[in-house]
Amino acid sequence: MTKFIFVTGGVVSSLGKGITAASVAAILEARGLKVTMTKMDPYINIDPGTMSPFQHGEVFVTEDGAETDLDLGYYERFLRHSKMTQRNNFTSGRIYSAVIEKERRGDYLGGTVQVIPHITDEIKARIRASGEGYDIAMIEIGGTVGDIESLPFMEAVRQMQVELGRNNAMLMHLTLVPYIASAGESKTKPTQHSVKELRSIGLQPDVLICRSEHAISDDNRLKIASFTNVEQRAVILCPDAKSIYQIPSILHAQHLDDLICERFGLDTPEADLSDWHQFTQALLNTQETVTVAMVGKYVELPDAYKSINEALLHAGVANNVKVNIDYVDAEKLENDDSLFEHIKAADAVLVPGGFGERGTLGKMKAIRYARENNVPYLGICLGMQLAVIEFARNVLGLDANSTEFDKKTKAPLIGLITEWFDEKGELQLRSDASDLGGTMRLGAQKAELVEDSKLRQIYGSPVITERHRHRYEMNGRYIEQLENAGMKISGYSAKQHLVESVEIANHPWYVAVQFHPEFTSQPRGGHPLFNSFVAAAKQTKK
C-alpha cells in the first residue's frame, strides 16, 4: 500500500516547499524506495500554461505533455527513477471544472453539489491515483496554511489521514524561524502560530522543517517541540545553504529518513548519497568561470527560466567550471547600445523560448553577433525560430518573419502547422491570417538527427526524444535556400518530418533546437546539449 507524506507551508511563501519535498524524496529513493511526487495548486486556472512567467515563473512540461508548476522540475531533477505525468499536478480550477462537468452530466443524480464531500472527494481521488504503484507519494500543497483558496485541499488531507491511518500517512510542515538581528536571536512564535492555524482545521504536523537564515539553538528546537506537540527529533532544522543540492544531505544528517521509515514500518537499507556529495563538492569547489549571456524578455524574474538556469549549472559541473549567467533584457537591447557590451563580453549566447513579438529584434541582434563573431550560440524553441529568421534576413536578404508576428509577411519562415501538402507530398505551412489550424506540440517526441551533423555527434545517437512546447514551425519551403547558404537542418521530427534543429557547420558552435532540452537535464550528469555548449564556451573563453 502506498504511504503518503503531505507537505504544507506556513508563515510566508517561497520557503522552498518544493525543494524540501524533493530532497526528502531523493533520500527515500536512495534507500531503495519507489517514490513519486504531486503538487496541488490552489489557484483557479486550469493549469499554468496560459499564465505570464511574471505571475508564475516557468511552465514545466512533462513527458506526456502536461503544462505544470515549476516545482515538478525540481521533482524530476532530484529523483532518478520517477518521471512526472499529467496526474502529478492539478489545480483548484481543474478540480472544480471536473466536478461541474460531472454535475452537468447528472452524475450526482440531482443532489446538491458541495465542497464537502464532492470537491474533497475529487481531490482525494486524484491524490490516490497519483500514488498508485509507488511505495511513497509526496503530496505538496501550494500556498500557506490559512489561505482561503487551499482550505478544500487541507480538508481533503485531513480526511485522508483518518482514512489511511497513522501507519500510512504523515504530515510535514515547512515553516519560518526568523532571525531578528537587533535582538540577536531567532524567534519561534511565527512557527507556533502557523502550527496553531493547522491544528484549528484538524491537522497536526508529524514533522516540522524549520527554515532559517541562521542556526537554531537546541533550546529553541525544544521550545518549538513543546509548543507544537511535535517530537523534538522531528523538529528538523534547515538553515540557508550555499546550494539547494546540499539539502538532501542536511536532512539526512538529522535522520529524517530514519524517522519516516520507522513511522511507516519500512525496512530499507541506509541511504547512499555518495552521488549527491560528489556533485555538491564539484559544484562548490569549482574555481574557473564562463559567462553566458541569456537574452530574454522575462530576465527580471530568473524563475521564468528555472530549468535553463539549472541545466547550465549542471553542465558547468560536468565541465568543471562555474557558469555565470548574465541576464540581458531583449527589449531594452533593441535600442540601448550600452547593453550590447554584455553580449560582447560573454563567452557564449543563449536565447531561450518564449511567445510574442516583444523583444525579438533584440534577440536577433544578439544572435547575429554570435553568428558573425564565432561566439558559441544555443537557441531554444523561439531561439531557433529567430535564428532562422535572422539568417534569412541578413544572409539570404529575404524580408523574413514569423506569421506569429506578421500575418502578411512576404517570406513566412515560421508559421502554424496546417493539414495540407504540396505537389511534392511535403507538409507545408500557410501564412494567411485565417490560418487557425496550428496546434501546440507538447511533451516528449522523437527526432531523427541528420548524419554528420554536430547535433548527432553531441547526442551520440541517430534518434533522440525531447520535450516540446510550441505552436509555430519552420516552413519547409525555405530549407533548400537556407542549406545552400550554409545553415544546415540537422534534425527532423520522426512523426511529421518538421524541422527540429539547425546549425552552422563553419561556426565553432552554433546550434538551435525547436525542443526544450532543459526539461531533462539532471544534476548528476547534466544534459549532452548543454554540456557541449558550456564546453564550447570554456574552449573559446575570452
CATH code of the domain in which 94 resides: 3.40.50.300
Q: Which of 229, 262, 279 is the last residue of a domain?
A: 279
What is each CA distance from 42 to 13, 164, 378, in whole angstroms? Answer: 13, 23, 36
| Angle 178-182-184 from CA coordinates, rounded to 5° | 65
For 398-415, the pLDDT digits (tens) are 999 998 999 888 899 998
Name residue 501's amino acid.
S
Q: What CA–CA distance (Å, rounded) separates 249 from 397?
A: 56
Tell whether 235 and 298 lie within a shared domain: no
Q: What CA–CA distance (Å, rounded) separates 514 from 386?
A: 11
For residue 184, pLDDT beyond 90? no
Tell whether 221 and 328 lie within a shared domain: no
User: Of 95, 54, 33, whose CA–CA distance to 354 is shortest?
Assistant: 54
Q: Is 424 annotated as a binding residue?
A: no
Q: What is the reported pLDDT for 420?
A: 42
Q: What CA–CA distance (Å, rounded) separates 124 from 131?
A: 11
Q: What is the reported pLDDT for 303?
A: 87
Q: Is 233 annotated as a binding residue?
A: no
| pLDDT band at residue 422 using 50, 70 and 90 as cut-offs | low
For 262-309, the pLDDT digits (tens) are 999 999 999 999 999 999 999 999 999 999 999 998 888 888 999 999
CATH number at residue 454: 3.40.50.880
| pLDDT band at residue 428 using 50, 70 and 90 as cut-offs | low
Tell whether 215 and 198 lie within a shared domain: yes
For 207-221, the pLDDT digits (tens) are 999 999 888 888 899
What number of helices (H) and strands (E) belong to the chain?
Answer: 19, 24
Tell whether 325 and 245 lie within a shared domain: no
For residue 430, pLDDT beyond 70? no
Q: Which helix (H) or strand (E) holds 4?
A: strand 3-9
Q: What is the reported pLDDT for 437?
A: 36
Q: What is the reported pLDDT for 356?
A: 86
Q: Is 425 annotated as a binding residue?
A: no
| pLDDT band at residue 439 using 50, 70 and 90 as cut-offs | low
For 367-396, the pLDDT digits (tens) are 999 999 999 999 999 999 999 999 999 999
For residue 433, pLDDT beyond 60? no
| pLDDT band at residue 357 using 50, 70 and 90 as cut-offs | confident
Q: Is 84 annotated as a binding residue?
A: no
For residue 179, pLDDT beyond 90? no
Q: What is the reported pLDDT for 111?
A: 92
For 103-160, the pLDDT digits (tens) are 999 999 989 999 999 999 999 999 999 999 999 999 999 999 989 999 999 999 999 9
Name residue 125's amino acid.
A
Tell whether 290 and 234 lie within a shared domain: no
Q: Give me 445's grid cell.
A: 517526441
Q: Which helix (H) or strand (E) holds 280?
A: helix 274-285
Q: Is 337 annotated as a binding residue?
A: no
Are the beta carbons of 23 and 251 closer than 8 angstroms?
yes
Q: What is the reported pLDDT for 182?
A: 81
Tell whether 303 and 193 lie within a shared domain: no
Tell whether 309 and 328 lie within a shared domain: yes
Instruction: Count how many domains the chain has.
Output: 2
For residue 353, pLDDT beyond 60? yes
Q: What is the reported pLDDT for 421?
A: 42
| Angle 86-71-347 from CA coordinates, rounded to 5° | 115
In 10 A of CB 79, how many CB atoms? 21
Q: What is the reported pLDDT for 418?
A: 58
Q: Is 19 annotated as a binding residue?
A: yes
Tell whether 66 and 31 lie within a shared domain: yes
Are the beta carbons of 321 and 534 closer than 8 angstroms?
yes
Q: What is the reported pLDDT for 282?
A: 94
Tell whether 290 and 216 lie within a shared domain: no
Q: Is 147 annotated as a binding residue?
A: yes
Are the beta carbons of 380 and 518 closer than 8 angstroms?
yes
Residue 300 β-bridge partners: none
Phi and psi angles of residue 150, each rounded to the nearest 5 degrees, phi first: -90, 0
Cis bond before residue 117 (omega within 30° of 0): yes
Q: What is the reported pLDDT for 457?
A: 97
For 46-55, the pLDDT digits (tens) are 888 888 776 7
Q: Is 265 annotated as a binding residue?
A: no
Tell whether 181 and 312 lie within a shared domain: no
For residue 419, pLDDT beyond 50? no
Q: Is 17 annotated as a binding residue?
A: yes
Tell whether 146 and 15 lie within a shared domain: yes
For residue 434, pLDDT beyond 50? no
| Burial readout 420-450 (b: 16 or more C-beta within 10 A, e: otherwise) | eeeeeeebebbbeeebeebeebbbbbebebb
Percent of the chain with pLDDT over 90: 79
Tell whether 247 and 341 lie within a shared domain: no
User: Of 329, 330, 294, 295, whose CA–CA distance to 313 is shortest?
Assistant: 294
For residue 429, pLDDT beyond 60? no
| Burial readout 27-40 (b: 16 or more C-beta within 10 A, e: otherwise) | bbbbbebebbbbbb
Are the beta carbons of 119 and 152 closer than 8 angstroms?
yes
Q: Give me 396's grid cell.
A: 539570404
Known catalytic residues? Answer: 381, 516, 518
For residue 432, pLDDT beyond 60? no
Q: Which helix (H) or strand (E) holds 203?
A: none
Q: Give me 249's grid cell.
A: 544531505
User: Of 126, 153, 176, 131, whose CA–CA distance to 20 is shortest?
Assistant: 176
For residue 237, pLDDT beyond 50? yes
Are the beta carbons of 136 and 25 closer than 8 angstroms?
yes
DSSP state of 344: H
For 162-172, the pLDDT digits (tens) are 999 999 999 99
Q: Which of 233, 254, 279 is the last residue of a domain?
A: 279
Q: Which of 279, 310, 331 is the last residue of a domain?
A: 279
Average pLDDT for the chain: 92
User: Of 178, 226, 502, 276, whose CA–CA distance to 367 is shortest?
Assistant: 502
Full domain range(s) for residue 452:
286-540
| Burial readout 129-141 (b: 16 or more C-beta within 10 A, e: otherwise) | ebbeebbbbbbbb
For 446-479, the pLDDT digits (tens) are 999 999 999 999 999 999 999 999 989 999 999 9
Are the beta carbons of 234 and 259 closer than 8 angstroms?
yes
